[in-house]
Structure 1
Amino acid sequence: MGYDYALVHLTYTIPPAVLLSLIYWPLSTRLDVYRILFLITIAVVSTIPWDSYLIRHNIWSYPEDVVIGWTLFRIPLEEVFFFVIQTYNAGLLYLLLNKPVLGSVHLVREKPGRSKWKYVKLSGSIALALAIKKGIEFVRQGKERTYLGLILIWALPFLFLLWNLAYQFLVNLPFTSTLVPIALPTAYLWLVDTWALQRGTWVISSGTKTGLHLWPGSLEVEEALFFSLTNCLIVFGLVAFDNAIAVLHTFPAHFPRVPELPSPMLLVKALLLPAAAYNDDRILGLQRCVARLRAKSRSFYLASSAFQGRLRIDLIILYSFCRVADDLIDNAESTAEAKEWVGKLKQYLDYCYGGAVKTKDGREISPRDPNQGVVTQWVMSQFLEDARHTLFMLPTERLGKEPLYELLRGFEMDLEFTGSGEGRGGMVGGPIKTEQDLDVYGARVAGTVALLCIQLVLYHYPEGMKEEKAKRLMKAGHDMGIALQYTNIARDLEVDARNKRVYVPPGWLKKEKLTPESFVSGVLKQGGAKDQDEFFMKKVNTIRGRLLDRAFEFYHRSRSAIEELPPEASGAMRVAVESYMQIGRELRRPGWKSKGGRATVPVGTRLWVGWRALLGPR
């Protein structure tokens, strides 16, 4: 009896497991636990027969004085534990690196007969098949290539199967999602194995190994290959699992209802769904939605990764709709064009909620019209390509109509900054005359969006939610949206002023002996940090502080409601709120950093705030 092998675990495999667990624990979901347990089960069941064979045929062995002595099919329990801990560590690293990834955007529809993917699939399959054939030859030859051959014929058939099930996903995922969680654990285990072989913790019989070393110090090439392939198996297995999950969540037409923990049979069914059956428009639409979220709001992009499944997809589409509408109006060349966009968006909502749209010839088409393709043609003719996919995917059946119409009224308030008969940005005056006006504006452009987010949460997780509580949560979400909008205005004070927009009530400006015109003029006169008028900037910071005070007033009033949300969404919603409110905290710090005139939160701080938010309320 000995403890050398147990010492390897205590020193080298368990500490990384503890560290990764602590890091990932706030991010973990029931589905993540299911993933890891599912993969560990497969790893242990598939490895035990092979490992037992190696020991029974003396291809490798464990001296009695380095193991405790308890065995399973002649395999020391320390070795069985190694199957578990290696899968756990590599799996957690994969999950951590893939948390921000939305699998839906990495799916690809294959066009029959014209797809390059059949050649990608064929190339990988041929390469793996040839390697399996070579492994069989090595085993038949026996002697010094036996162990090498046994590794190949054990691992590569599994890789062959996984490749054929998920080759598209494997190729499309970013390198950080696949190569990194393979390479890092492999390099680490190479070092651990070198140390273990030098100490004699396990021994490879000299007659069945090539005698080649990866580097001086006893790391056999067979061992190096073993750890490389086992980590490939772990990552390939998780990729195939995520491929199935992505298919299930992306295509409700094929899978109307998906349980939180899909059965193995349902996962296989999703993997076997022909890629030619994928909805190409939906994939492309989601790709554009994610790209828009990543480019327009790093805070909400970070927060979105904390949501799960179809709720995450719906929230991303909702955000994309808000950005599309905002961009259509902001990028219009005139007030008249901007108002025209608002009208078209209203008309589209009218149709979605039971109204009708008018074609160019004046004919009205209602939702009951069997020729729904005419509506599609109307959208195609009226909206830019970048907007169409988002409009078609907007889950209006899960959203109340009034908040969406209120959002458009908020955009109309923005148009009042332009004045009548003038070009965009031609006047300083606007719709914000009092603090109440600013509250109304914040409620329309942000409170509505937050309320819609709560509606989506309650739709996807309705269990045990009473109507009275749901209304209270939506009211709190509405107020939280106003808090975020006040923060947004505080951040963009100078940027908006350069566009001749002043969202600060005149009464607030008057207290600083300013008018909207003098405020804009003062901002435009500011140069670099050395040239700034300190007296004027002190006034700007006073106004900014008052906006932030109002923001945090709404924030503290409604933050407790987050904890009443379903547990599947409360942590993620906390991340969304805290990530954005961190901008307000940064603005209160002297010397805050800016990018493009806007305050920015350092990446490290953003990650820490998100991770801390998942742990629970402050």
Structure 2
Amino acid sequence: MHPFSPKYSFATAADHAHCAAAIRVGSRSFHAASLLLPPRVRKPAYGLYAFCRLSDDAVDLDGGSLDAVARLRARLALAYEGRPQHAPADRAMADVMRDYAIPLAAPEALLEGLAWDAEGRRYETFDDLQAYAMRVAGAVGVMMTLMMGVRDSATLARACDLGVAMQLTNIARDVGEDARAGRLYLPLAWLLEAQIDPDAFLAAPVATPAVKAVVARLLDEADLLYARARRGVAHLPKSCRPAILAAALLYAEIGRTLGRRHAFDSISHRARVNGGAKVALLGKAVALSPWLSRGAPAPALDCAAFLVDAVAREPVRGAPAQAAGFVLQFVRTLEMFERLERAERFGE
């Protein structure tokens, strides 16, 4: 355990530049949305992304080895203890976990999902697939929410919804690419209902009407979760809402593009959102974010409970008991100063 000290940082300016470069290269959609985040959240978000990217790449480059996952778990444990390895992403992750009281269970869940990838695991039911998506994407949504200073269970549940929805969109978009690499994420029960033999499909992936119907069904499930997730965006600090809404709109648009332009054929096409559409969606996110409805509360997905509970159990290490509230108050205070600064500069 290291002392809680907002003045001390493991990561250097060069480390942060390295992390920012990783997101620019690795995810154009997430990078575009991240530009709407206030700088105080954007910098740790880049550090989180860099560690997630490092983890994903480490497993891929090692041929999907479980040994690679074990090494990543060891690095993560060191970062959590305040003894990060000598690497930009590790140092940035150590800062993020300390400063925002992120429970070890959240990034460990991500690594568990990567281990499932390394095992070549397939998913019998849609619930099984959601459990996977919760680990590789829902956990990231939880960590992002904590970095915005929000820790209540209802908002974390909606962050999990958004992470799962985005991962389902990724899976729908990449069916052909995954199949050619020998990977299959579509629920086996759905394939059997559609009279699709999973092994025959992997041997010769073709966008038959039955396959496209399964892809469309997966995107329908994602859309239901995007709608639920919007309620959580309304609970975030106002300065953070445009970025998170933008991420949701951009990923949902991938699904719509897949349906509208490619008739749900993700075997021979990879749906992309062009630059003009991205700019329009960013503008839409800025315009809509102040008017989002919190709506009626909805229960968390069953597969999200372990993450939401882990946050509730995590103390702000080395800080007074009221530190979690201090983080939220600190965010709100910064927002107030930003408004005052704008008023001085622009006469608002």
Same fold (TM over 0.5): yes
1:390 corresponds to which of 89, 105, 119: 89
Contact 2:254 2:271 in 1 (8 A): yes
1:516 aligns with 2:198: yes
For 1:311 and 1:500, locate their aligned partners in 2 and report how far apart those are by CA, in whole Å.
Answer: 38
What CA distance in whole angstroms lies between the structure 1 residues aligned with 2:269 and 2:259?
16
Q: State the distance in 1 between where 2:183 and 2:53 align.
A: 19
Structure 1 residue 441: Cα displacement: 0.3
Structure-2 separation of matches of 1:353 and 1:582 = 36
Q: Does 1:556 align with 2:227?
A: yes
Q: TM-score normalised to the size of structure 2?
A: 0.75
What letter is aligned with 1:578? L
3-state secondary structure, aligned to 1:599: coil
Residue equivalent to 2:214: 543
- Corresponding position: 1:602 with 2:284: no
CA apart distance, 1:350:
2.2
Q: Distance in 2 between matches of 1:604 and 1:596?
A: 24
- When residues 326 and 597 of structure 1 are mapped into structure 2, their CA distance, relative to the original with a 3 A threshold, is farther
**Contact 2:196 / 2:211 at 8 angstroms: preserved in 1?**
no
For the pair 1:456 / 2:147, whether they are aligned, the reply is yes
Q: Secondary structure at the match of 1:514?
A: coil
**Within 1, Cα distance between the matches of 2:16 and 2:268?**
27
Residue by residue, what CA displacement relative to the aligned partner does 1:136-160 show, whole Å, maximum 9, x if unpaired?
Answer: xxxxxxxxxxxxxxxxxxxxxxxxx
Runs of 4+ in 1 over 6 A off after TM superposition: 592-596
Matches within 5 A, 1:51-450: 256=7, 282-333=12-63, 335=64, 338-354=65-81, 379-380=85-86, 388-394=87-93, 395-397=96-98, 398=100, 399-417=102-120, 430-450=121-141
**Aligned residue identity for 2:160:** H
- Letter of the aligned partner of 1:540 in structure 2? V
Q: Residues of 2 paired with 1:491 and 1:456: CA distance?
A: 29
CA RMSD between the two structures = 2.6
What is the CA-CA distance between 1:519 and the residue it aligns to? 1.3
Q: CA deviation at 1:579?
A: 1.4
1:231-279, CA deviations, whole angstroms, 9 ceiling, x for partnerless residues? xxxxxxxxxxxxxxxxxxxxxx9x949xxxxxxxxxxxxxxxxxxxxx9
CA distance in 2, matches of 1:327, 1:485: 17
The question of whether the paired residues in 1 share the 8 Å contact of 2:141 and 2:159 is answered with: yes
* Conserved 8 A contact 2:169-2:222: yes
Residues 431 and 280 (structure 1 numbering): CA distance in 2 closer, same or farther, change over 3 Å? closer
Deviation, 1:286, is 2.4
Question: Offset at 1:569?
Answer: 0.8
Question: What's the offset of the Cα at 1:448?
Answer: 0.4
Measured in 1, the distance between the counterparts of 2:10 and 2:75 equals 23
Task: Name stretches of at least 5 consecutive residues in structure 1 with no aligned partner.
Answer: 1-252, 258-278, 355-366, 368-374, 381-387, 418-429, 460-466, 527-535
Cα distance between partner residues in 1 of 2:117 and 2:232: 30
Identical counterparts, % of pairs: 29
Which structure would you say has the larger RCO, counting Cα contacts within 8 Å and 6 or more residues apart?
2
The one-character-per-residue Cα deviations of 1:490-548 (angstroms, maximum 9, x if unpaired) are 0000000011111011111112211221111231xx5xxxxxxxxx4322211110110
Q: Distance in 2 between matches of 1:406 and 1:391?
A: 17
Deviation at 1:591, TM superposition (A): 3.4
Structure 1 CA distance, aligned partners of 2:15 and 2:122?
35
Aligned residue identity for 2:216:
G
Offset of residue 595 of structure 1: 12
Report Cα offsets for 1:105-138 as digits up to 9, x if no partner: xxxxxxxxxxxxxxxxxxxxxxxxxxxxxxxxxx
Aligned to 2:339: none
SS at structure 2 position matched to 1:458: coil
TM-score (ref. length: structure 1): 0.43
Residue 291 of structure 1 deviates from its aligned partner by: 2.2
Q: 2:248 aligns with which of 573, 577, 602?
A: 577
Q: How many residues align?
A: 281
